[in-house]
A and B are shown apart, each in its own frame.
Chain A
Amino acid sequence: MAARRRIEAKPNGAEAAAHSPARLPQVFADWFARRGWQPRPHQLALLDTALTRRSTLLIAPTGAGKTLAGFLPSLVALSAAKRAKKGAGLRVLYISPLKALAADVARNLETPIAEMGLKIRTETRTGDTTVAKKARQRSHPPHILLTTPEQVALLISHPDAYYLFADLDTIILDELHALAASKRGDLLALGIARLRQFAPDVMTIGLSATVARPTELRAYLAAQTMPETQLELADLITVEGGAKPDIKILNAAADIPWSGHTARYAMREVYDAIRSSRLALIFVNTRMQAEYVFQELWRGNDDNLPIGLHHGSLDAAQRKKVEAAMAAGTLRAVVATSTLDLGIDWGDIDLVIHIGAPKGASRLLQRIGRANHRLDEPSRALLVPGNRFEVLECRAALQAAEAGAQDAMLSRTGALDVLAQHILGMACHAPFHPNDLFAEVRAALPYAGLTRTLFDRTIDFVSTGGYALRAYERFAKLRPDIDGRLRISNAKVAQQYRLNAGTIVDTPMLKVRLISGKRGAKISALQGGRVLGEVDESFVEQMPPRATFVFAGEVLRFEGLRETEVYVSRATASDPMIPSYGGGRFPMSTHLAERVRLMLSDPSSWSALPDEVAGWLELQGQQSILPGASDVLIESFPRQGRHFMVVYPFEGRLAHQTLAMLLTRRMDRAGLEPLGFVANDYALSIWCRGDIQAAIAADRVNLGQLFEQDMLGDDLDAWLAESSLMKRTFRHAAVIAGLIERRHPGKVKSGRQVTMSTDLIYDVLRRHDPGHLLLEAAWADAATGMLDIARLGEFLARIRGRIRHQPLTCVSPLSVPVLLEIGREKVYGQAQDSILRDAADILIREASGA
């Protein structure tokens, strides 16, 4: 594989030798010289801080030689005289969010090590590493081990982990910005806290792209020794961004549509842009869009340009082929989702095309960074808005990029399900005293604020399930010894732990297999052929037999399901149904939303917009009013015998869905008989049987009260209790916390059975133990994740006393996009009974001969 994560420094002469190379051993200085390079200032600066053994965060844009900088102190230390071994001799642990990245960095470390003739052994350890090699690595580790957070969790849970890590002196955390604020980040932080127990002098080096608040990452890297009083920070080295990116918004000949995300109207121009570049990377927001855009490009591919497709559902072998072709320079364009967001550098990309709005300023910069890995040349990017609102959002993203602004990362409180998993892992390693483990855990930033009560409840959960009804003491997994230390009650507990570790809980995925054999034959008679990739179960569930869909860039026909595999044949349908993958849709960031609101409220800024978009906004100004920068606009109008209310919060789809759900409950109580709602990233609309306008005019409905913040109390609780979303969240927490077991290959238990049983557990827990730790954990997840409650709360606080209601006699121009989504979006929390009722109605009609 010719993928490259370049390990490079600056060419000689580009910079005066301001830094004395004295810190650099001769063999390194010679190597730099031989390559015609000069060590960069930040690479030397990191050598300096390493001498003080202080942990350090290095923030640098792509192409700044970040990886070499991170490893340089370790390579220098390892090249020096041998040190007496206390343990197995593992000195450096490199942790990356992607196993592909770990493998890539390992390959690229080989070059400097070989060229300098250093006696340093490096190895990777991922889920793909053989069992035999993994076992050997624990007793005879390399000097440098490159791995993932999950492997770290497993390694430290073994009884011999102390021996393995006793010599550790550096932990390098790559792409830290992508890892820190997540459950994986929580698990890793706990793991590092434990590594510090094994090797008290260990230093961490974090490598990150530019972020809005580096302080959080600096604190993540440091041990929080006094969590109550003081925030410990790692040192910071920042490399200023190189050349400003050159971003343009595509101006297509055709009119920009009102809604949708496919950007079909602009495909001709996108194709032209590909034709005039060397290698274009085309980013989209969802897998479905990827398949669609890929099809559209090939439809008009008159020059037969080699265009590839890359997304997470595709088979690994297929993806590798595309990656290799990119690196070899045989492709002209690749359509990709976030799978190509991070650090791996597969080829000489000179243009990034972003289809649909980028949703966040940081995401845009990260993606644009894929084009051109040289610091001093600008990256070229082309934004292609899918609809009129996305034009505004693209504009906002462009302004943010020009100003170098970033989205703030969410500071997070460590998840309790992850803590539960870690506690069990630590018990598997060795008996521990709760006092010691509590202090250790609080040294990890996400858990610095953890109370002793909550910690003890989590231990209780791990041991006996933590139920108010103390029924399981005799089955406890953790038992105290005479000194009050907790140890696992039997070896089976450790086995269970190792099978269930990790924080990634995927929806069950089914393999898509191309069949050979007669089409339309009985499924049992079909011969299995090549695997094309995986789709999630919910997609297959909805597929009628013989349906056609686009996957892996081909039109396929669904032939049937055999065990856990979807059998498909090649089809030639011209209008296939398209996979509707759930994942990959991020809501618009708060930062971009603010810029969009500002732009809308300031007509003088519209001159930069395409004519039809500026005209659309002017029309809105004439027929209604424009949303202000700090208030919220609500429009009401009758339409087709129903009464509509449209709200424009610009807070992202997730927060809007939650808001719409809660407003609907309140409007129902107010007797307005709401019938449905729809939400997108910019607005939401609710329609009712009752006349909202009249109710507001007669003061029977008070908008201030309708939007009162207390909706986040009882209304939210009542709605959440029944929502399928909450059940899904609960299932994730239950798997991570070890309450239910993960599925494993070979174990015949379908994903639906798991879903089924966690739903039952959820219902029973809510009724009989509503204060249970896992319900608390699931609630916290839902609040920060799919419901975006934090953001909704901020919105409700911001608009208090700032609601502007505009009664209208008909649809306003601004409301058209959200109204067009009606019937397209499926809404969460729809009562299951309405589905059953519909099914029963069908039977009734048939029975009565209708």
Chain B
Amino acid sequence: MSSLRPERFNLNDARDQPVSICGKAFRAHMSGALYWPAEKALIVSDLHLEKGSHFAARGQMLPPYDTRETLRKLADVIDTYDAATVIALGDSLHDARAAERIDGADLATLRILQDDREWIWVTGNHDPMIAPILGGTVLPSLSVEGIRLCHEPSIGAVTHEIAGHLHPAARLVVHGTSLRRPCFVGNGLRLVMPAFGAFAGGLNILDTAFEPLFGCDGMAVWMLGQEGLYPVATRLLRED
């Protein structure tokens, strides 16, 4: 399947890698964001803002900095591509009351990021509503150049779709060392984005949840590293 072959390898500067979806060219970034050069659009998924404070409210005092960290990473990657549009593919907020808990300084950071660019919140299962205080346009899903952008991946062998929701992560074992990292997973026709949020966990792509999307084979996987994004042979992948 020639479409699975990454088109360019430059492991010395691997901060992003080319990814094609139904013939459209994208760049997948090591931060977990996806850039669409033709549309000048940056796509991120599952920010889960205020996950820390959500836990704190239930008695587990996780650090209150996840929103800050997620926005910082987002600002960096927006700058990298000078994106004109930002599309957040759902579960941008960890829960329905997250907007009430967001720190003033973090909210200000978000509003500054939204200046001079279009901002679209696609709704997800964690955030069916987006409070107006967060700005941007709210949509259940959208279609751009024939590609559907939505939160939950459609079941079955669909094409022309970019989604999130599943928090894909991959585990591999090389030289006896095991490593588990978030990843992009696609097949040239559809793509599932990794979770971008600082406190978002991951689900192994060998989990049955991914089976109806890709079947048993035909997955292409790009794992997020500290210094780059790396295409990985699927036969190296392991279950948890």
Are B5 and A475 closer than 8 Å at their CB atoms? no
Q: Is B236 an interface residue (CB 8 A)?
A: yes
Contacts known (A760-B198, A842-B236); A471 close to B173, Cβ less than 8 A? no
Do the beta carbons of A465 and B61 come within 8 Å of each other? Answer: yes
Q: Are B226 and A769 in contact (CB under 8 A)?
A: no
Q: Measured between alpha carbons, how far is A799 from B223 in the docked complex, in Å?
A: 45
The answer to whether residues A836 and B181 also contact, given A469-B103, A768-B68, A844-B9 and a CB cut-off of 8 A, is yes
Asked if A464 and B61 make an inter-chain contact with CB atoms under 8 angstroms apart, the answer reads yes
Q: Which A residues contact B (CB, under 8 angstroms)?
A: 461, 464-467, 469, 471-472, 475, 477, 492-493, 496, 538, 541-542, 561, 722, 739-741, 750, 752-753, 756-757, 760-761, 763-765, 767-769, 772, 826, 830-833, 835-844, 846-847
| Chain B residues with CB below 8 A from A769, complex form | 63, 65
Cβ contact within 8 Å between A846 and B233: yes
Task: For the complex formed, measure the closest distance between the CB of B221 and the CB atoms of chain A, giving whole angstroms.
Answer: 9
Q: When the two chains form their complex, are residues B59 and A493 in contact, meaning their CB atoms are under 8 A apart? A: yes
- A-contacting residues of B (Cβ < 8 Å)? 5-6, 9, 11, 14, 53, 56-57, 59-66, 68-69, 101, 103, 172-181, 198-199, 201-202, 223, 225-228, 230-233, 236, 238-240
Known: A752-B240, A847-B6. A465 touches B179 (CB 8 A): no
B11 touches A841 (CB 8 A): yes
Known A469-B103, A471-B64, A739-B60; judge A826-B176 contact (CB<8 A).
yes
Chain A residue nearest to B237 in the complex (CB)? A839
**Are A832 and B226 touching (Cβ within 8 A)?**
yes
User: Which chain A residues border B61 with CB–CB below 8 Å?
Assistant: 461, 464-467, 472, 475, 477, 739
Q: Is the beta-carbon distance between A756 and B201 smaller than 8 angstroms?
A: yes
| Contact among B64, B101, B181, B201 for A467, CB-based, below 8 A | B64
A843 / chain B contacts, CB cutoff of 8 Å: 6, 231-233
Min CB gap B32→A, angstroms = 13
Q: Tell me, rounded to whole Å, the shortest Cβ–Cβ distance linking A477 to chain B.
A: 6
Cα A660 to Cα B198 in complex, Å, equals 33
The CA-CA distance from A831 to B177 in the complex, in Å, is: 11
Q: Write out the residue numbers on chain A whose beta carbons fall within 8 Å of the beta carbon of B240.
A: 750, 752
- CB-CB under 8 A from B176, the residues of chain A are 542, 826
CA distance A492 to B198 in the complex (A): 27
Q: Chain A nearest CB: distance from B217 CB in Å?
A: 14
- The interface centre, meaning the residue of A832, A839, A842 with most chain B CB atoms within 10 A of its CB, is A839
Q: Known contacts A768-B69, A841-B11: does B64 contact A836 (CB below 8 Å)? A: no
**With A and B bound together, what is the CA distance between A767 and B73 in angstroms?**
12
Chain B residues with CB below 8 A from A477, complex form? 59, 61
Do the beta carbons of B230 and A836 come within 8 Å of each other? yes
Q: Which 9 A-B pairs have the closest CB atoms?
A: A465-B61, A471-B64, A768-B65, A836-B230, A840-B230, A843-B233, A541-B178, A833-B225, A836-B225
| A840 and B231 contact, CB distance less than 8 A | yes
Given A475-B57, A756-B201, A757-B201, CB of A835 within 8 Å of CB of B233: no
Given A493-B59, A764-B65, check contact A840 B178 (CB 8 Å): no
In angstroms, how far is the closest chain A Cβ from the Cβ of B148? Answer: 28
Give the distance in Å from the alpha carbon of A461 to the alpha carbon of B177 in the complex: 35
Do residues B64 and A839 form an inter-chain contact, with CB atoms below 8 A?
no
Whether A756 pairs with B59 at a CB distance below 8 angstroms is no
Provide the residues of chain A in CB contact with B172, threshold 8 Å.
835, 839
Contact A469 B64 (CB under 8 A): yes
CB distance from A470 to the nearest CB of B (A): 9
Chain A binding surface SS class: helix
Q: Can you list 12 A-B pairs, Cβ within 8 angstroms, ordered by A?
A: A472-B53, A475-B56, A475-B61, A541-B173, A542-B176, A757-B199, A760-B199, A767-B65, A767-B69, A835-B175, A842-B236, A847-B6
- C-alpha spacing A466/B65, complex, angstroms: 13
Q: Are A465 and B69 in contact (CB under 8 A)?
A: no
Chain B residues, Cβ within 8 Å of A844: 9
Shortest beta-carbon distance from B54 to chain A in Å: 10
Residues of A within 8 A of B181 (CB): 832, 836
Looking at the complex, which one of A465, A542, A750, A838 makes contact with B63 (CB distance below 8 Å)? A465
User: Shortest Cβ distance from A312 into chain B, in angstroms?
Assistant: 23
Instruction: Please tell me which one of the listed residues B63, B101, B230, B239 contacts residue A839 in the complex, with CB atoms under 8 A apart.
Output: B230
Determine the chain B residues whose CB is within 8 A of the CB of A739 once the complex forms. 60-62
Cα distance, A493 to B24, chains bound together (Å): 53
Closest chain B residue, CB of each to CB of A845 = B233
Given contacts A465-B63, A541-B178, A836-B179, 9 further A-B contacts (CB under 8 A): A461-B61, A464-B56, A472-B56, A538-B178, A541-B238, A561-B239, A836-B225, A839-B223, A847-B5
Q: How long is the Cα–Cα vector from A756 to B199 in the complex, in angstroms? A: 9
Residues of A within 8 A of B231 (CB): 840, 843
A81 to chain B, nearest CB (A): 50
Let me know if B11 and A764 touch, CB within 8 A: no
Cα–Cα distance between A739 and B55 once the two chains are bound (Å) = 10
**Bound Cα distance from A471 to B60, whole angstroms:** 13
What is the CB-to-nearest-CB distance from A173 to chain B, in angstroms, rounded to a whole number? Answer: 33
B101 to chain A: which residues have CB within 8 Å? 471
Nearest chain B residue, comparing its CB with the CB of A772:
B63
CB <8 Å contact, B175 and A753: no
**B93 to nearest A CB, angstroms?**
16
* Bound-state Cα–Cα, A636 to B198, Å: 46
**A763 — which chain B residues lie within 8 A by C-beta?**
69, 198
Contacts of B11 in A (CB 8 A): 837, 840-841
Interfacial chain A residues near B56, Cβ < 8 Å: 464-465, 471-472, 475
Partner of B174, one of A741, A765, A831, A839: A839
Cα distance A306–B172 when bound, in Å? 43
The smallest beta-carbon distance between A756 and chain B, in angstroms, is: 6
Residues of A within 8 Å of B5, CB to CB, are 847
CA A538 to CA B65, docked complex, whole Å: 30
Q: Chain A residues with Cβ under 8 A from B63's Cβ?
A: 465, 467, 761, 764-765, 768-769, 772
Interface centre among A752, A765, A769 (most CB of B within 10 A): A752
Q: Are A469 and B65 in contact (CB under 8 A)?
A: yes
The minimal Cβ–Cβ distance linking A91 to chain B, given in whole angstroms, is 37
Instruction: Tell me the bound Cα distance from A841 to B12 in angstroms.
Output: 12
Considering the chains assembled together, what is the distance between the CA atoms of A642 and B198 in angstroms?
42
**Residues in A whose Cβ lies below 8 Å from that of B9:** 840, 844
- Residue in B57, B223, B230, B236 whose Cβ sees the most chain A Cβ within 10 Å: B230
Q: Which A residue sits closest to B239, measured CB to CB?
A: A561
In the assembled complex, the CB of A419 is this many whole angstroms from the nearest CB of chain B, namely 16
**A839 adjacent to B69 (CB under 8 Å):** no
In the assembled complex, the CB of B7 is this many whole angstroms from the nearest CB of chain A, namely 10
Minimum CB–CB distance from A524 to chain B (whole Å) comes to: 13
B57 pairs with A835, CB closer than 8 A: no
Residues of A within 8 A of B66 (CB): 764
Residues of B within 8 A of A461 (CB): 61
In whole angstroms, how far apart are the Cα atoms of A177 and B229 in the complex?
Answer: 51
Residue among B60, B175, B227 making CB contact with A838, cutoff 8 Å = B175
Q: Are B59 and A764 in contact (CB under 8 A)?
A: no
If A841-B11, A844-B9 touch, whether A465 touches B59 (CB-CB below 8 Å) is no
Whether the pair A756, B180 counts as a contact (CB closer than 8 A) is: yes
- How far, in angstroms, from A840 to B199 measured CA to CA in the complex? 26
* Min CB gap A797→B, angstroms: 34
Shortest Cβ distance from A541 into B: residue: B178
Residues from chain A with a CB closer than 8 A to the CB of B179 are 832, 835-836
What is the bound-complex CA distance between A844 and B178, given in angstroms?
Answer: 20
Q: List, in ascending order, chain B residues with CB within 8 A of A846's CB.
A: 233
Choose one: A475, A757, A840; the contact of B232 (CB below 8 Å): A840
Which chain B residues border A753 with CB–CB below 8 Å?
Answer: 201
Q: B13: shortest Cβ distance to chain A, in Å?
A: 12
Question: In the complex, what residues of B have CB within 8 A of residue A839's CB?
Answer: 172, 174, 223, 230, 232-233, 236
A750 to B60 alpha-carbon distance, docked (Å): 19
**Closest residue of chain B to A843, judged by CB?**
B233
B225 touches A465 (CB 8 A): no
CA distance A561 to B233 in the complex (A): 22
Q: How far is the CA of A561 from the CA of B239 in the complex (A)?
A: 9
Residues of B within 8 A of A833 (CB): 225-228, 230
Provided the pairs A765-B63, A768-B69 are in contact, do residues A830 and B177 lie with their beta carbons within 8 angstroms?
yes
A835 is contacted by which of B59, B68, B177, B198 (Cβ under 8 Å)? B177
